[in-house]
Amino acid sequence: MRSLPLLCTGLGFLLAGCAVGPDYHREKVDTATAVPPDWHWKKAEPNDTLPRGAWWALYHDAALDALEAQAGGGNQDLRAAVARVDKSRAEARLEGAAFFPQVSLDPQVQRMRLSGNSPQIHQFNFPGIAIPPATVNSFSVPVDLSYEVDLWGRVRRSFESARAQAEATVADFENVRLTLTADVAVDYFTIRQYDSERKILRATVETRRKSLDIAQKRVRAGRATALDIHQAETELANSEADLAEVAQSRAQTQDALAYLCGQPASSFVLAENPLAALPPTVPVGLPSHLLERRPDIARAERTMAGKSAEIGVAQAAFFPQVSLTGQFGYLSYSASNLFTWPSSVWSIGPTVQLPIFSGGKNAAQLRAARADYDAAVADYRGTVLGAFRDVEDSLAAERFLRQRAEATDRAATAATQARRLSEERYRSGQINYFEVTESQRTELAAQRAQAQILGQRLYASIRLVKALGGGWGAAAPRAEEPKPILSPLQAVEP
């Protein structure tokens, strides 16, 4: 009898030779509409286990590297995503437990009083014979066994679905991590852009103070009117207001960056440092396998696999469910002879549950499962199409922003020359102060546009990194990644 659980397990695996429902095959994306022919992309096949590396090392910024490390170890959204991975793995293992017999030990000790007037005794009606009550002991040590024979693959399909969901949750984790690293980089360069604008505005404030001083001297000399002073004071006040506005935006962005890094905003300080570096050069002919690393594609594909398995679960409900139950143990009135052969008891037998009428419940569940799968297929295809769109949008932004930067640089250079000429002409009395004001405004707008477009170019490069699933592989220099909280890429096995 000790081999009974093994025999039942072996019998179950022998009987579980088929599984109803479709075997999963990844859906293809229409290459005629989805794949850009000039890039020679092939059909997307999720492969989010490909290495990404520390993609932010492309920017060669030690401060950014340190912030990414802080975010990888302290961000609370990332910790929550890790917990969701742990939960989904546990749920998958819970489904996998159905592959094995469930064995339990339920020892009992009872002392009970039996009635002399119990209905079972009274029905025999022995005249003149009184049955006295009795007090007895009962000792039992039963071992219970239950096992569902997976004839139609219901258990296997349920586990396939749970495992696919666990893998989808891992993809969600990777998406949270990729989004986090991208957000940290965007906020960091946004702060640097504000630093550049603050530098420009401080210089502007200083220039307009000098202009106000010149206007006051000209008025005292009788060469200008009070209107020039009021105009100069207005421009100075506007520049100071712009400086305060940029400082406010920088402080708020710094607080957002502190949250991403898991730090209190009150104690998080990032030293001022204007933008200096240009965005990294995008290599020509990016390989399509980079796009396959996108975790949202992996999640959509694994969700589709899980929904396919759920069709098999729904179909299995139309067939009989066979279970094996058994018990072996000892039962005795005394503990002294409990574990002896005469005290042994056992039972074994199959249980068959055959669906006869369910009011259309099983058919409705099957239709719902198929509809869920069709929706998952559409979501997967849409995710792949969206991935191509994201890459193309990022490349277009990178290309046109580079052209805008070149034009803005020329405009800033010309505006600076025009401002200098106008100030010289004003000092010599050739023009009024209004023209000086206009030239100063034009220069300030051009210089701020320079800083803003440089920031936009950096944002576009980060969006391209994110669209490709994290950098561009071998083209990116390797750097040590921040130590993760855990590695959620283990395979979930039954």
| pTM over the 0.85 mark | no
Contacts of 209 (CB under 8 A, 6+ apart): 236
The pLDDT assigned to 286 comes to: 63
Q: What mean pLDDT do residues 104-128 have?
A: 76
Lowest pLDDT segment from 55-64, 212-221, 482-491? 482-491
What was the pLDDT predicted at 477? Answer: 36
| Band (411; pLDDT cuts 50, 70, 90) | very high
Task: Please give the average per-residue pLDDT across 297-309, as a whole number.
Answer: 89
- Residue 491 is predicted with a pLDDT of 42
Phi, psi angle pair for 125, to nearest 5°: 55, 70
Say if CB 437 and CB 235 are below 8 A apart: yes
- Report which of residues 32 and 324 the model is more confident about: 324
Query: How high is the pLDDT of residue 180?
Result: 93
pLDDT over 90 at 181, yes or no:
yes
Q: Is 216 helix (H, G, I), strand (E, B) or coil?
A: helix
Tens digits of per-residue pLDDT, 132-172?
A: 777 888 889 888 888 888 888 888 888 888 898 898 898 88
Question: 298: pLDDT confidence band, cut at 50, 70 and 90?
Answer: confident
Q: Tokens representing 304?
A: 């589709």
User: Which pLDDT score is estimated for 403?
Assistant: 93
Q: Output the pLDDT for position 476.
A: 40
Q: Which pLDDT does position 32 carry in this prediction?
A: 39
Distances in Å between the alpha carbon of 28 and those of 35, 243, 354, 479? 12, 54, 38, 35
> What integer is the mean pLDDT of 253-259?
95
Average pLDDT on 24-43 reads: 51
Cα 487-489-494 angle, rounded to 5 deg: 120
**Predicted confidence (pLDDT) per residue in 206-253, tens digit:** 988 988 898 898 888 888 788 888 988 998 999 999 999 999 999 999
Q: Give 379-444 as a DSSP string.
A: HHHHHHHHHHHHHHHHHHHHHHHHHHHHHHHHHHHHHHHHHHHHHHHHHTTSS-HHHHHHHHHHHH
* Average pLDDT for 8-29: 57
Q: What is the arithmetic mean of pLDDT over 100-112?
A: 88
Question: 41 or 463: whose pLDDT is higher?
Answer: 463
- State the residue for tokens 């009011």: 359
Structure token digits, residue 89: 């793995």
**HSE-up of 147 (CA within 13 Å, CB side)?**
25
With CA atoms as reference, report the closest residue to 168 among 92, 227, 220: 92
104 CB-contact burial (10 Å; exposed 0-12 / middle 13-18 / buried 19+): exposed
